[in-house]
Amino acid sequence: MQNTTETDDGPEKFTAVQTLGTTGITHRAVGPTESRSASRLWWDADADDYQAAHGDFLGDVRFRWCPEGLTEDTAGLLGPVAGRDVLEVGCGAASCSRWLATQGARPVALDLSAGMLRHAAEANARSGVSVPLVLADAGELPFPDASFDVACSAFGAVPFVADSAAVMREVHRVLRPGGAWVFATTHPLRWAFPDDPGPEGLTVYHSYFDRTPYAEFDDDGRITYVEHHRTLGDRVRELVAAGFALTDLVEPEWPDGHQEVWGQWSPLRGALVPGTAIYVCRRL
């Protein structure tokens, strides 16, 4: 979900770009502290626009995995959730957690951004399905060991942290043995293509193997937005090293008739290349 100050993303992202004074784009090393601070800045500044642009599609009480629209009630990637303790990592407005609550789970929704959690609190009140909200970093989960049966994330946290291996280790720590960890990210292949939903987005322009983070910055060189790329192999190695078994890798196909354009995700590109990777893992 890269942003750009160069192409027209519409009203979405414009406010955050202006508020944060973003003036340029680069690929450069960004460490954990700088990355955390940039993500907090960005998601707080972008929260209102993000929810205005995607809130209807995401719903107040709905578990969507990705811009392709796949929902947990059709995919069933988490396994049975009734009666289970579930952690949602990078929850945004926490619509997934509210859906989980309606299925009999005991969800906890965690996010780094107070702006996003403000929307989560409003949606709790609006929907009448209230889930616990926790302000914290995915790399330092404020829970005792073995607190949860299931952990999940729909594009939350993992693409935005410098040390995603540390997130994998933290999720492993807070899961009980045998617990499920299922998370969606931008498909790693998309890194090689421009962040553009149209024909411009169909030509390889960047090395898939270049892990240097994509970053936006202001006039003082402060990072205002960052995304970290891992190849498919990197991700599998991180998971295995943390103590997970990868049991499935879901690449949702673009559904016939689905017209929703979300950033770089569009019917045009969705028909040709995968946009989302969902890693289905079990804690050993």
Ligand X SMILES: C[S@@+](CC[C@H](N)C(=O)[O-])C[C@H]1O[C@@H](n2cnc3c(N)ncnc32)[C@H](O)[C@@H]1O
Binding site for ligand X (CB under 6 A): 1, 36, 39, 43, 58, 90-92, 111-113, 116, 137-139, 154-157, 160-161
The contacts of residue 271 (CB under 8 Å, 6+ apart) are 254
What are the backbone dihedrals phi and psi of residue 174, each rounded to the nearest 5 degrees, phi first? -85, -10
CA distance 151 to 105: 12
Q: Cβ of residue 116: shortest distance to ligand X, in angstroms? A: 4
CA distance 272 to 195: 15
Nearer of residues 138 and 242 to ligand X, judged by Cβ: 138
The contacts of residue 225 (CB under 8 Å, 6+ apart) are 3, 16, 20, 22, 38, 39, 42, 215, 216
Nearer of residues 164 and 245 to ligand X, judged by Cβ: 164
Q: Which residue is nearest to ligand X (CB)?
A: 92
Nearer of residues 96 and 281 to ligand X, judged by Cβ: 96
Q: Cβ of residue 156: shortest distance to ligand X, in angstroms? A: 4
Nearer of residues 1 and 168 to ligand X, judged by Cβ: 1
CA distance 18 to 57: 25
Q: Cβ of residue 36: shortest distance to ligand X, in angstroms? A: 6
Q: Cβ of residue 203: shortest distance to ligand X, in angstroms? A: 25
Largest Cα–Cα separation, the chain: 50
Q: Cβ of residue 43: shortest distance to ligand X, in angstroms? A: 3
Nearer of residues 138 and 281 to ligand X, judged by Cβ: 138
**Tokens encoding 56:** 């209807």
Q: Cβ of residue 27: shortest distance to ligand X, in angstroms? A: 19
Nearer of residues 97 and 282 to ligand X, judged by Cβ: 97
Put the strands of the sheet holding 85-89 in their side by side order: 133-135, 106-111, 85-89, 148-154, 175-186, 276-283, 244-250
Pairing of strands 85-89, 223-227: unpaired
**Tokens encoding 185:** 């990210």
Nearer of residues 12 and 218 to ligand X, judged by Cβ: 12
Q: Cβ of residue 113: shortest distance to ligand X, in angstroms? A: 3
The string of DSSP codes covering 4-22 is -SSS---STTHHHHHHHTE
